[in-house]
Every structure is written in C-alpha cells, then in structure tokens.
Amino acid sequence: MVRTEISLFLNNAPGELGKLSSLFSENGINIDALMIQDASSYVQELFQARGKSLKRIASAASYNSMRKDSAEFALIRLLVDQTDNAIDLLSQHDYMFDIMPVIAIKLENKPGTLAEITNKFGEEGININYVYGSVSSPDENCLFVFCPEDIELASKIFKK
C-alpha cells in the first residue's frame, strides 16, 4: 500500500529524538515505522551514487565538505498514523522535512516472505532505493517500508 514517508533532519544531539517523539505523542500521533542514520552516511551514499550516473551533481571536494558538515545532523525517515497532522506540527515547529510516497507492506514473519516480495520488484525491473522494517514477535506480521525508483509501477504490483 502506498503511504507517505516523512524524512527530516534533526540535530545529532542527545534529546532531539525525544523532543520529536514527545511532540507527536502529545498530539496523539503514533509512529508506525522509523529509521535513523547520521546524515553524513546519507551524503556519502549520494556521493557514491553520483559515480554510477552520468550526472555530476557536485565535485568530490564539495561532497566531502557536505559530509563533514552533515555529521551534525541525523536523517530520520518515518511513517505515522496521521500524516497530515504530523506535517502541520513539523511545519509549526520549524522542522526541515520532506515527504515522499513509499510502499508499506505487512509481511508474514516466516522464511522466504521478504524474498518473495523483493523478487517481485526485481521481476518488474524496479530498483529499491532503500528498505527498512521490523519484527515485534515471531507470531506477528512485520511492517516493511520500500522506497522504489518507480512508485507507480510498484503500487500496481502490490494492488494485486
């Protein structure tokens, strides 16, 4: 199912995630999925990706400078149960964020289920930019979030 992911930068400092999650909690917003990485890793991924394409976004020196500066921030990707309310709150509190469509799928927690899903992407020629997920117990379904290069085609595959 297509959902809206919120990506935002937080200061990479103690207490920042607590402030964000408290803001959501105080406003009745539940976080369904969450991934955090330091922003320098994200910038490094951009640098490596630029070498695979013909487009040169910036010089190596620019990327190295960006990576150094970005270590002060964490990149957070999340799904919430009330996206519009969360976006309003983030705007009101001056958070720097972006939104994008992703595929969120509840999977059975058994061997081969993830392989089946990711093979569907591959069979359709859809590259997966990133994925994150979690399992709470062996008896429950897990939520996995996929960011495919072609969201429209991916959404058609999983409507079936």
Domain boundaries, the chain: 2-159
Quickly state the pLDDT bin for 110 (edges 50, 70, 90).
confident
pTM of the model: 0.77
Q: What is the mean pLDDT of residues 127-148?
A: 88
Q: What is the mean pLDDT of residues 49-62?
A: 50
Q: pLDDT tens across 6-35, in order?
A: 999 888 889 999 999 999 999 999 999 999
Tell me the fold of 2-159.
VC0802-like (3.30.2130)
Q: What is the pLDDT of residue 134?
A: 81
Mean pLDDT taken over the chain: 83
Give the Cα separation of 9 and 45 in Å (integer). 16
* Burial class for 148, CB neighbours closer than 10 Å (0-12, 13-18, 19+): buried
